[in-house]
Amino acid sequence: MKKDLDAVVERLKAAKRVLVIGHIKPDGDDISSVVTLVLILRKLGKVAEGCIAGEIPWFYKDLADVPLIKNVDDLRDFEYDTSVTVDASELSRIGDAVELLKGKKPDVTIDHHQTNVGFGEIDFYDSAYAAAAVIIYEIGKQLVDYDARLAEINLLGIATDTGFFKYSNTDYKVFSYAAELVKAGASIQRISSAVLEHRTLNEVKLLSEMFAKLHIEEDGKLAWSYVSTEMLRHTGCTEDDAGGLVGEIRSMYGVEIAILFIEWPEGDVHISFRSKNYADVSKVALEFGGGGHVRAAGCSCKGVDLEEMINKVVARTRQALKPDK
């Protein structure tokens, strides 16, 4: 845990040109943190750009200002004096955006993952924060006045990383900051509609196929399923469309750990872990080269066989149901 937020604020105040970088396979918190920080810096009169390597799920682009995020190629000639990563627990999480750092450490890193390794010149990370967007808000409110658009994009990350104010990380601070952002003009309805109500017919078909493969063991405490390349192809879905499905498994009564294996492209498997009350899935993800939070973690394995990965990972995850594993 490294918690000197003043050092981050001072570094940002001194900056003139800033590159803000999020992580690959971005979620709402990541997108929110990148866009919010860019808008804060621009409000302060600085030149700021936001970068995420790879695709951004299409439904986030309905939210104002998300389209300002650029890809790596757009920013190769962008000159900056300060680089900042948000919501990334280690350097590899920013994917190809690492090329923009030209071999240097990020100047500032801002994160809230349990598995953070501290990889910048100035690091701020603390897993007590429900979202990176909560940290961004603590920075932002010291520096600028919030208008409705800034408030709404900042609220996106707080809402999504708390499961829309349901998870155990939904603390007093989350509600009080969310209230301030709503007071400044943010609409939780617009955010929830964009993020939670975008399922296409193809995704519903994928969901039903995923549930058809569901395995339940350990007295109903461990539930897992998979989405193969073949299932994605014939339902007309992409890997992104499978992103939220692990939550559907966890939603079952009595399930403590849910695992979803997503094979995409063939030979690569992304594994999403979710736990409900006590199991620490970040430890399991870490052992397979990934990381994350106690209740939500993941890893990406390249050049592997789906069935072999399922066997290995399920065997290891059974242990995680026991105390202290």
Contacts to ligand 5GP by CB under 6 A: 89-90, 93, 115, 272, 290-293, 296-300
Choose between 28 and 186: whose C-beta lies nearer to Mn ion: 28
Choose between 29 and 152: whose C-beta lies nearer to Mn ion: 29
154's contact among ligand 5GP, Mn ion, none, with CB below 5 to 8 A by partner kind, is none
The structure tokens listed for 248 are 């559907």
Q: What is the DSSP string of 143-170?
A: HS---HHHHHHHHHHHHHHTTTTTSTT-
CB of 179 to Mn ion, least distance (A): 20
What is the enclosing helix (H) or strand (E) of 93?
Answer: none
CB of 131 to Mn ion, least distance (A): 5
Choose between 44 and 98: whose C-beta lies nearer to ligand 5GP: 98
Choose between 46 and 293: whose C-beta lies nearer to ligand 5GP: 293
The structure tokens listed for 74 are 């757009």
231's contact among ligand 5GP, Mn ion, none, with CB below 5 to 8 A by partner kind, is none
Choose between 132 and 306: whose C-beta lies nearer to Mn ion: 132
228's contact among ligand 5GP, Mn ion, none, with CB below 5 to 8 A by partner kind, is none
CB of 180 to ligand 5GP, least distance (A): 24
Choose between 87 and 107: whose C-beta lies nearer to Mn ion: 87
Coil, helix or strand at residue 82: strand
By CB under 5 A, name the one of 123, 161, 209, 256 that touches Mn ion. 161
Going by the DSSP 8-state scheme, the letter that residue 235 receives in this structure is: H
By CB under 5 A, name the one of 87, 203, 263, 280 that touches Mn ion. 87
By CB under 5 A, name the one of 132, 181, 227, 246 that touches Mn ion. 132
Q: How many chain residues bind Mn ion (CB under 5 A)?
A: 4
Choose between 89 and 169: whose C-beta lies nearer to ligand 5GP: 89
Convert residues 218-237 into a mask of x (bound to Mn ion by CB under 5 A) and - (unbound).
Answer: --------------------
CB of 183 to ligand 5GP, least distance (A): 28
296's contact among Mn ion, ligand 5GP, none, with CB below 5 to 8 A by partner kind, is ligand 5GP
Going by the DSSP 8-state scheme, the letter that residue 139 receives in this structure is: H
CB of 94 to ligand 5GP, least distance (A): 11
Which segments of 209-295 are extended strands (E)? 215-217, 222-227, 257-263, 269-275, 291-292
Alpha helices in the chain (DSSP H): 5-14, 28-43, 132-143, 148-161, 172-183, 188-196, 201-212, 229-235, 245-250, 281-287, 306-320
CB of 301 to ligand 5GP, least distance (A): 9
Own/partner long-range contacts of 138-145 (Cβ < 8 Å, ≥24 apart) = 138/5, 139/5, 139/8, 139/9, 139/12, 139/37, 139/40, 139/110, 140/36, 140/37, 140/40, 141/180, 142/9, 143/9, 143/12, 143/13, 143/40, 143/43, 143/44, 144/40, 144/43, 144/44
- Cα separation, 34 vs 6, in Å, equals 19
CB of 166 to ligand 5GP, least distance (A): 16
- Cα separation, 321 vs 153, in Å, equals 36
Rule CB under 5 A: say whether 263 interacts with Mn ion: no
- Whether the CB-CB separation of 83 and 107 falls below 8 Å is answered with yes
- Whether the CB-CB separation of 245 and 207 falls below 8 Å is answered with yes
- Phi/psi at 102 (5° precision): 50, 45
298's contact among Mn ion, ligand 5GP, none, with CB below 5 to 8 A by partner kind, is ligand 5GP
Binding positions for Mn ion, rule: CB under 5 A: 29, 87, 132, 161
